[in-house]
Amino acid sequence: MNPTAQRLQTSSLSPDTAILRHRQWAGEPWLGELKAGQTLRIVDLEGNQAVDVLFYNRHDVAEHYSATDTIQQQGGIYLTTGSRLLSNLKRPMLEIVADTCGRHDTLGGACSAESNTVRYALQKKFMHSCRDNFLHALALADIGLSKRDLVPNINFFMNVPVTESGGLKFEDGVSAPGKYVEMRAAMDLWMLASNCPQLNNPCNAYNPTPVEILVWDH
């Protein structure tokens, strides 16, 4: 696979037949369940929003999404249609089956108090971050997951190109209003998401916006 390939693919699923249609407000965490065989869609309602996501095996939460195994297996650093999202046991957790955005990041990591400080300014440390959102959702959920389970995540709709010298850049998004990514679950999963609250990054025009999460039973 070409490491920078974008594979645009639309979906035939209608929102009218979804069993879940959830509006995820800007800056908020969300913890949801997915069953094997279900299809998940995340819609970037207003464009250039980032949705930070981790997946865990619902029957053994020590098995989690693995960015390194996913990248190594597909021979490419971006996620798009056809990407299989592998676990740390190298088993498929989900497969991306449709994608109208074209590429998603899994290198940049989640924003945190620490990255707010390093990237922006010391006084930004206490602003909301995806890592704090993850921790907040897990503290309320009591499902056996905690700080130690936060591993490198997926940033849906986020554009983090790798430069020729091997550095990472946080660029303006390649997404736009209404673009979506859709994936089918291969096992029963927890989905831990943070609709990024970042107010310091120009890539979302300093304006976090809502997204929509839909689930179909097939």
Q: Which is nearer to Zn ion, 50 or 185 (CB)?
A: 50
- Nearer CB in complex with Zn ion: 39/159: 159
206, 148 Cβ separation under 8 angstroms: no
Q: Judged by CB under 5 A, does residue 196 bind Zn ion?
A: yes
Part in contact with Zn ion (CB under 5 A); list of ranges 88-96, 111-119, 170-178, 202-210: 111-119
Pairing of strands 189-195, 29-34: antiparallel
Indicate the residue among 38 and 155 with the shorter CB distance to Zn ion: 155
- Residue 38 or 195: the one with the smaller Cβ distance to Zn ion is 195
Instruction: For residue 60, give every residue at least 6 positions away whose Cβ sits within 8 Å of its Cβ, in sequence order, or none.
Output: none
Closest separation in Å from C-beta 117 to Zn ion: 14
Q: Which of residues 123-152 bind Zn ion (CB under 5 A)?
A: 130
The CA–CA distances, whole Å, from 171 to 13, 149, 150, 159, 204 equal: 31, 28, 24, 6, 10
**Which structure tokens are listed for 5?**
């390939």
Q: Alpha-carbon torsion 64, 70, 72, 76, what sign? A: negative
Q: Which stretch binds Zn ion (CB under 5 A): 72-80, 89-97, 176-184, 195-203?
A: 195-203
Q: How far is the CB of 203 from Zn ion (least distance, A)?
A: 11
Count of residues engaged in binding Zn ion, rule: CB under 5 A: 4
Q: Whole-number minimum distance, CB 35 to Zn ion, in Å?
A: 27
Q: Based on CB atoms, which residue is closest to Zn ion, 174 or 199?
A: 199
Nearest to 200 by CA among 137, 117, 136, 134: 117
Looking at the Cβ atoms of 81 and 115, the one nearer to Zn ion is 115
Distance between CA atoms of 96 and 119, rounded to whole angstroms? 31
Phi, psi (deg, nearest 5) at residue 201: -110, 125
Q: How far is the CB of 166 from Zn ion (least distance, A)?
A: 23
Phi, psi of 140 (to 5 degrees): -80, -20
Chain residues that interact with Zn ion, rule: CB under 5 A: 111, 130, 196, 198
